[in-house]
Structure 1
């Protein structure tokens, strides 16, 4: 049985505990207890979350875990000396030491991330970089893996990390089945951006929002200003003016960003050729997609795919 220790402390963020459900559903999928999950703290007993209610824990003491997961918090709380010592020992006693969200600050404080790559919540990335300049921070990543150290970005990215752990232990089919039962996207790739193009475009009115949602669902279509204006129930001139006023960019630029995001997801899956990805995401031909990737990432899709394969 694989033992999972989830390390809590006063003020921890509750959403990280959702990772335990991933392991629970993996057990359901196997119809046997493959994972055992314990909630730990330095002294045991009830530990208050950031919301004020408490979760019962056992003291971390001398027991060892196959996988240790350090949760995050909202305020970058300081780790106690006892917690740092326990994390340092875990590098010798655990197969994997992982963190969710700002839990990477605790791993870094314990010296575990020195010279290694890691990620954290994008909001705290600048603070992390200043505090731990020798860590190779990849702030625009869902999660990272560097040997036995796994770190995830903010909040829901911990679910992607947990699904990746399940996939590593039990294979892609079990992880996919767990994701389906949890009604989440089957594990976002670790290299995927923490940001959503649709969220970053940030339309304010329902009309522009509706047009963008339509565009994301119909990337293979022409998606001209006239077509989007019709979806928004506006004239093309009104739609263009409103779109630029709300988003600060043209409809064509926003559609390109949506297509780039979709193409990058398909690229990370590794299951489709460049030609098919270009066609499926509405670029039409690989050269047009290549130029868009160069504008967005400074590298063509072929080079990004090679980098992902090397990372894998």
Structure 2
């Protein structure tokens, strides 16, 4: 049992599979200027977590505590914080990639990484949303400025980012096309998808055309192939920078646009997401929840690449 000065967290000393994750007791952080200390109640687990666990990507060599999603309660505020007070229920994403560390009982972060948790959902639901919803919002709204009636193609539409992107695109009035295995089509229709392509049996480049915006959540050759389905001046937004070296050159050749983006912590974006949640237009589908101590099991399930929706760690 942790005392007033320590907390439990999930850490790792080496890169590798889920088995490298271990529960440790570490010093509880203290909020600095413009920061808040949040008692974490729920934290989503995302593909970027298991990729960093295995490869280090941006974080380099361990030890480190993973996790960017947070839903919890403000425990203390640092000097100068006015947007939150102790006792406030908040949710948000820690600054990506270096503000990592939410797979723990407490976390500190800039106060404006968080917004008020929507009162209509619990911490599990709120803890599943920040990274995937901000990714989809920043891709479809901030970057692509999706408008009513536009045709939007979402790859891996039943995944964490994908199923949220479908809902955000629909909330913007778009006609939404998704790629997913056939068994997930009914789920996606319930979320509002207008047209679905079974990627296992159909080449999407032959099944769809005149698309305004493509959200590439897959990497590999998906972004480059997606350029072929765009209308003139259409846009591919890839959330996996560096996955394709020929993307910009091929886009220029075809007279279309392509950008690569990383999600950023965003107070305004979190407030917009909270409004969609409160309006009943956005909800995370929870694939499974795990106690913090079972983080390795969550990672093992995530590694399969077969989950629908989000995996969430619960701290209570």
Fold-level similarity (TM above 0.5):
no
More helix by share: 1
Higher relative contact order (Cα pairs below 8 Å, separated by 6+ residues): 2
Scaled by the length of structure 1, what TM-score is found?
0.27
